[in-house]
A and B are shown apart, each in its own frame.
Chain A
C-alpha cells in the first residue's frame, strides 16, 4: 500500500447503474482537502451534477493509426493480409477497427502507409466551487485505450497533490477490464456499490476476485437495499464470509433519481441525506486508519 499523506479511494461496482456516481458525488460534496477524478472515461457523468469551471481542456492522444497513401500504393494487399483486426479493406483503413499495431506500416513494400498519433478524446482540468481540483475526460466514439486515458487523468491529478490534500476520490468505470485496472493504481480502499439483484451479487463476486489479485482492501455499500430484502441479506452474508466490511445499507430513494434529474448531487438536492453520508464517510475513515 502506498505510504502517502493522502488516501485514495475508488468507487466501483462491476455492474453498471448501481449508484456509483450518486455516492461518489455525495462524498465529493461532504469532504474537503480533496481531488476528484471521474475515471468512467467512456461515459463520464460526474460533471453533470458537480458545479465546476473548466480551467484547461487538453487533447488526448491514445495511440497511432494507420492510413494508406493511395498514390504510393501498388495494391499488393499485403497490409490487408497481415492485419489481424480486419481494419483494412480495399486499400482503406477503418480507423475505429485499427488498433494501432503498425504491422501494416512496417510490412508495406511501397512505404505507402502513414502511421501517426491521432486524437482519441479530450480531458478536462476543472475547479469545483470551493477551489478543489476535479478531472474528467471524454473518449471519442468507439476508441480503445480507455485504460491509458484513466492513467493520464490520474497522472494530471498527481501534479496537484500537496500537503493540503488528504483525499483523492475516484468514480470508477463499470466492469472488471482495462479501465478498471487502471483506476486501481495506488488506491488505498475500494468502495463497492452493489444492489440486491442476482446480477448485482454475480458481478460483485467477480469484482471481489479481481481485488484479491491486486490485494486491495474494500468495503461494500448495498444500495436500493429494500428492493429485495432476501437478496440483500444474501449479499450481507456473502461479504461477511469474505471478511469485507459492510459500510452502509441504503434504501431505494426516489430522491436519488430526482436529484440527478435536477442535475444536483443528492446532498444539494435534499440536505437530509448529509448526515447519512457523513456517517458512511466516518466508517471509511476508520477502516483506512486501521
Chain B
C-alpha cells in the first residue's frame, strides 16, 4: 500500500503529517521525495545506515569517431548539444538523459556516461524504514532523483511518500503510482487556490485522494464550501496550535510527544485504509 502526502502550497504541514503517519503505522516505510529540501529526517531522526550517489546519464562524444555530421544536435529537443566543428559541447543541465543522441549517431561516437546528481540515504527510525534523497546543489532537475529514491524499497510494508510542494513534474513523479494521496491544505485563500491545482493533478492521473485541513480556522469558510461543493473527501481538521508549531520548530515529532495528535493520526490512517479498500472493491 502506497500513501502519498502532497499539498500544492508549501509549508502547510506535509512533512509533519507524513512523518507522524509513518510513526503510528506499525510497520512503515517513509520516503522523502522533496529532494530539493528534504526535511523528514529532522522530525524522524533516523540512524542513517547507507548513503549512495545517484547518477543521470549524459552523452560523451568520442572525437576520434565523430565527423561532426550534426545528427546528435538535430535530434536533441532540449538544445543541450552544440556543434563547434572541432568538438561537441554539452550543456549538462539541459540534458534530460533521453539517449536519442547516442542511438542516432551514425558514427557510434557517443556513449552515455554517469553524472552525479545527488544522493540517496537509507536508515531506520525506530521501526520505520527511512529513505530520503538530496539533489546536488546547482542541479536543476529533481524528477530523476525522485524516481530513483522511490525504487529503492521493494518490500511489502506500507509506504508513506512525502511529496515536494507544487503541482508540476516533480509532484507528479512523487504521487503518480500511489494507492491514495492525502492533500494537506490550510485555511487561507493560498491554501485553497493551491489545493484546487493539486486536486486537478490527482483527478487527471486517477489517484484517489482525501483532504486534511491543517492550521484549521473555521472563520475561513470558503475552503469547506469548496470541499463540500465538489463532494471531496474531508479526512481531518487539525486546528492551529502554538504547542504543535513549537514542537515542529524544535524538530520534535508531534505524534511522538502529543497524545491527542497521535490519536488523530491513528484515526487518519484507519480512514485512509478503509478508503483504499473501498476503491479496490469498486474497481
- Interface residues of A, Cβ cutoff 8 Å to B: 14-18, 21, 41-45, 48-49, 63-64, 82, 84-85, 96-97, 99-103, 106-107, 139, 141-147, 173-178, 181, 195-200, 202-203, 206, 209-210, 213, 227-228, 231, 257, 260-261, 263
Contacts and interface: CB of A to CB of B under 8 A. Distances in A.
A45 B246 CA distance: 26
A199 B172 CA distance: 23
B60 interface: no
B152 interface: no
Contacts of A228: 246, 249-250
B109 interface: no
Contact of B189 (A15, A102, A261): A261
Contact of A260 (B99, B189, B200): B189
A71 B99 CA distance: 27
A64 B76 CA distance: 12
Contacts of A257: 188, 215, 217
B205 A261 contact: no
Given A176-B137, A199-B39, 18 more contacts: A16-B165, A42-B197, A43-B9, A43-B10, A43-B166, A45-B189, A45-B190, A103-B75, A142-B205, A147-B140, A175-B142, A177-B170, A197-B250, A197-B251, A206-B37, A213-B138, A227-B249, A228-B249
A99 B98 contact: yes
30 contacts: A14-B36, A21-B190, A41-B168, A42-B171, A43-B9, A43-B167, A45-B9, A45-B189, A63-B77, A82-B99, A82-B103, A96-B204, A96-B205, A101-B100, A103-B100, A106-B75, A142-B201, A144-B168, A175-B142, A177-B36, A178-B141, A198-B39, A202-B37, A203-B37, A203-B39, A228-B250, A257-B217, A261-B188, A261-B219, A261-B220
B205 A84 contact: no
A48 B220 CA distance: 15
Contact of B137 (A49, A142, A143, A206): A206
Closest 3 CB pairs of A and B: A17-B11, A16-B10, A101-B98
A177 B99 CA distance: 22
B248 interface: yes
Nearest to A263: B189
Nearest to A43: B194
A142 B78 CA distance: 19
Interface string B126-159: 0000000001011111110000000000000000
Interface of B: 8-12, 15, 34, 36-37, 39, 42-43, 75, 77-78, 96-100, 103-104, 135, 137-143, 164-172, 176, 187-190, 193-194, 197, 200-201, 204-205, 215, 217, 219-220, 242, 245-246, 248-251
